[in-house]
Amino acid sequence: MSADQTAAGTAAVPSGVRIGPLRAGERITLTDPKGRRHSVLLAEGGTFHTTKGGVSHDELIGGPEGVVVTSVGGTAFLAMRPLLNEFTVTMPRGAAVVYPKDAAQILMACDVFPGARVVEAGAGSGALTCSLLRAVGPTGRVRSYERRDDFAAQARRNVESFFAGPHPSWDLTVGDLVESLEAESTPQEVDRAILDMLAPWECVDALAERLVPGGVLLAYVATTTQLARMVETLRVHGGFTEPEATETLLRAWHAEGLAVRPRHDMVGHTGFLVGARRMAPGFRAPARKRRPAPGAYGEDYNGPRAATPEGAAERG
Ligand SMILES: C[S@@+](CC[C@H](N)C(=O)[O-])C[C@H]1O[C@@H](n2cnc3c(N)ncnc32)[C@H](O)[C@@H]1O
């Protein structure tokens, strides 16, 4: 099996998982005794330089991962191929990436399935793209849109580096999402749409026209003001179920003898997920029974307003 082949499939359907001996051209992670990780691109004759002396790449090439190599100065390094979650946080990036904990939630919240037709924007550095491509499998399609050509080029480099070449289920378009969708000669159906951009609410109408009934639209946003605007835009549209907003906190633990406690270095905040499902054409979700909190849509509120009985009551 060649380096381009994967543990789970054939060269035609890459999973990004490499097996067998380490090869020149592969990226590996060297972890030092303090747990610091160093991403290294293996090259014949190459050296990984550290303050404790160099590690020769040739010691690793041709051997298995999971070995320990020692620098000239006597420091031991654990050598492993990175998992997808490590790859996405260590790969070169232009735009900020979706963190692995959020990518995992996105796959579950959107129920991304083998065969799904997924639209994603912006592609940014291609981190989420890698997870989406894995989830849709050989019969699915991921269409990614990125309006900055430098970021799109970086996304392509990262995706092709992870999958060891072009992925057959991926289309990357350089351009604004809405403009690109509107330029399609025939609108293509979409099962799942995932937005990671500054103003996802601007894409709701265009995606609503293409999402199948029951399809999922999800936005990953960094701030509460974006979260609120997205929720209200989905409500105002009327063709979506009541939006759900969540945040995922991941806390690693230190476990050593009797010293068992949360680690101090938690990632405090990454982003919020705002998701809703597409209703069938002509249907609106049943009006919510719950009245908005007092003042929710009071005179200080200046966002989109849904024409609901609750909203009307609140607005007087
Ligand atoms: C935070 S980055 C996306 C990161 C990406 N999800 C990842 O995991 O690597 C946001 C990207 O959205 C792009 N963008 C913003 N608005 C866009 C739009 N309307 N259409 C296409 N791309 C857009 C920006 O150029 C930027 O690269």
216 C-beta closer than 6 A to ligand 1: no
Q: Which atom of ligand 1 is nearest to the CA of 123?
A: 5
pLDDT, position 289: 75
- Classified as helix, coil or strand, 39 is strand
Distance CA 153, CA 132 (A): 18
Residues 125 and 268 in one domain: yes
Measured from the Cβ of residue 96, the count of other Cβ atoms closer than 10 Å reads 13
- Examine the domain organization and report whether 155 and 261 are in the same domain: yes
pLDDT tens for residues 74-95? 999 999 999 999 999 989 999 9
Mutate to test the pocket of ligand 1, among 106, 197, 201, 204 (most ligand atoms within 8 A of CB): 197
**Is the CB of 125 inside a 6 Å radius of any atom of ligand 1?**
yes
32 is in which domain, residue-wise?
27-80
Same domain? 90 vs 204:
yes
- 128 in ligand 1 pocket by Cβ < 6 Å? yes
Answer whether 98 contacts ligand 1 (Cβ < 6 A).
Answer: yes
Within the chain, strands assigned E span 27-31, 37-41, 47-48, 55-56, 67-70, 76-80, 117-121, 141-146, 170-174, 190-195, 211-221, 244-247, 253-256, 259-262, 272-277
Give residue-wise pLDDT tens across range 263-311: 998 888 999 999 999 999 999 988 777 788 888 998 889 898 877 554 4
Same domain, 66 and 153: no
> What mean pLDDT value characterizes the chain?
91
Same domain assignment for residues 140 and 264: yes
How many whole angstroms from 123 Cα to the centroid of ligand 1?
5
CA-103 nearest atom, ligand 1: 8
Co-location of 49 and 176 in the same domain: no
Report residue 34's pLDDT band, with 50, 70 and 90 as the boundaries.
very high
* Assigned domain for 194 exists: yes
176 marked as part of a ligand binding site: yes
Q: Does 296 reside within a domain? A: no
User: Within a 10 A sphere around the Cβ of 292, how many other Cβ atoms?
Assistant: 17
30 is in an annotated binding site: no
**221 lies in a domain?**
yes
Q: Quick check: is 197 in a domain? A: yes
Considering the domain architecture, whether residues 92 and 193 belong to the same structural domain is answered as yes
Say if residue 39 is in the same domain as residue 62: yes
Take atom 5 of ligand 1 and give the residue whose Cα is closest: 124
Query: CATH number of the domain that 135 lies in?
Result: 3.40.50.150
Domain count, the chain: 2
125 among the known binding-site residues?
Answer: yes
Residue 71, domain CATH: 3.10.330.20
Q: What is the pLDDT of residue 236?
A: 94
CB atoms within 10 A of CB 158: 24
Task: Tell me the mean pLDDT in the region 117-121.
Answer: 98
In a domain, 17, yes or no: no
Structure tokens that stand for 18 in this block: 């490499």
Same domain? 50 vs 109: no
- C-beta 170 within 6 A of ligand 1: no
In this prediction, residue 32 has a pLDDT band, given cuts at 50, 70 and 90, of: very high
Is residue 58 domain-shared with residue 102, that is, in the same domain? no
Q: Classify residue 5: in a domain, yes or no.
A: no
User: How does pLDDT run across 121-141, given as a tens digit for each residue?
Assistant: 999 999 999 999 999 999 999
> Which residue has a Cα nearest atom 23 of ligand 1?
122
Q: Are residues 53 and 125 in the same domain?
A: no
Say whether 46 counts as a known binding-site residue.
no
What is the C-alpha to C-alpha distance for residues 28 and 62, in angstroms, rounded to an integer? Answer: 13
Give domain status of residue 53, yes or no: yes
The model's pTM is 0.91
Task: Indicate whether 42 and 174 sit together in one domain.
Answer: no
Q: What is the pLDDT of residue 52?
A: 83
The pLDDT, as a whole number, for residue 290 is 77
**145, 120 Cβ separation under 8 angstroms:** yes
Q: Is residue 223 part of a domain?
A: yes
